Amino acid sequence: MSFRRIEDAPSGTTALVRVDFNVPMKDGVVTDDTRLRAALPTIQALRERYCQVILVAHFDRPKGQFVSSMSLRPIVEPLSKLTGTPVVFVEECVGEKVWTAIDGSQRDSVILLENVRFEPGEESNDPAFAKQLAEHVDIYVNDAFSTAHRAHASTEGVAHILPAYAGKQMERELDALEAALGNPKRPVMGIVGGSKVSTKIDLLKNLVTQLDKLAIGGGMANTFLFAQGYEVGASYCEKDEAETARAIMKAAKAAGCELLLPVDTIVSVRMEHGAPVFTRALGELDADERILDAGPATVKRLLAAMDQSATLIWNGPLGVFEIPPFDAATVAAAKHAAALAKAGKLIAVAGGGDTVAALNHAGVVEDMTFVSTAGGAFLEWMEGKPLPGVEALRG
């Protein structure tokens, strides 16, 4: 896709930069600065262009009211250390205090505004509030893909008032997703796991029209097996979604997308470490047994499919990876995908909360081509839905 980048922006300007600083915090202390670090390339790129950087972000869900425990003030100290420059904090996100800070700071300074969700106009995308955000500012930069699916004032509204550009993190995300779904190298394979078909209907319906192969794992695979007439014992299964599963299988066949469903399963009576574990053929489990992972034959077929693919897009684990040994299929698939990506044989893009946790569990995040931490936005992109914050950046 075509979108405006920081390199297209004029130098020496005042830039309002939407970032994702919704960081883990305990007792007013940032416990994980990953999202702060993610913003550094954009901050640095703008400062190198002699731009004044005005950071706008949200934290938690204050619902349009001031909540002291949701202030962004605790971010100032760690962000100052990371940027190597004192960060000016403003207790408001619009108005005279903001203007005073802008006028009183050097051209390449960094200013952090208070939690933008303290203002009711943010989530309602109030045009008047968006106009206030744009006052005394020359350009807008969106570096928060994780909020791009929300049409809020700081993610979409202000982009229609100021010249709008993608930040470095946003740029990496959009380039990776373009490589995975927009204009991918073929054959393209997908892996979709997780527990519920019902929460991923739109995703599956879109992917079967985009991919050459789609592997389905996790609890949702049980629903597909049930829809084919296999017994699933005491396994988690959305039996009321069987018709949906059959419709998706039909759509995949019509689109020429090969569905890779489990051909064997790992089962146990109890979902706990140390419980007896058995490999079962499809439909052959006892009434009290639960499918908790994909079996070895399924994994072997999955790895072979990766070897035959040029692009892989992954969302969701293949089993209950949090409890070994039910992590075996997810770990094996993750390590194989990462090895292929590292060798330059596969473009491997993954995203979604459980997916990131599973890849971290397998220790392969760094070797994947790209791993998105933007859960909701990543899923909506995979569903084929336009994202308001991205659409506003199109060139």
Q: β-strand 213-216 against 258-260: which pairing, if any?
A: parallel
State the Cα–Cα distance between residues 50 and 108, nearest whole angstrom: 5
Going by C-alpha positions, the residue among 121, 111, 202 that lies closest to residue 155 is: 121
State the Cα–Cα distance between residues 142 and 16, nearest whole angstrom: 8
Active site residues: 35, 196, 353, 376
- Peptide bond before residue 187 is cis, with ω within 30 degrees of 0: yes
DSSP 327: T
Q: Count the Cβ atoms, other than its own, within 10 Å of residue 237.
A: 23
Burial class (CB in 10 A: 0-12, 13-18, 19+), 307: exposed
Contact 209, 251 (CB under 8 A): yes
Q: Count the Cβ atoms, other than its own, within 10 Å of residue 394.
A: 12
State the Cα–Cα distance between residues 6 and 321, nearest whole angstrom: 40
Contact 200, 192 (CB under 8 A): yes
State the Cα–Cα distance between residues 234 and 252, nearest whole angstrom: 28
State the Cα–Cα distance between residues 71 and 79, nearest whole angstrom: 14
Contact 34, 366 (CB under 8 A): no
Going by C-alpha positions, the residue among 76, 8, 77 that lies closest to residue 46 is: 8
CA dihedral sign, ordered 315, 221, 277, 296: negative
DSSP lists the bridge partners of residue 311 as 188, 347
Three state DSSP letters for 80-126: HHHHCCCEEEECCCCCHHHHHHHHCCCCCCEEEECCHHHCHHHHCCC
Going by C-alpha positions, the residue among 395, 220, 203 that lies closest to residue 320 is: 220
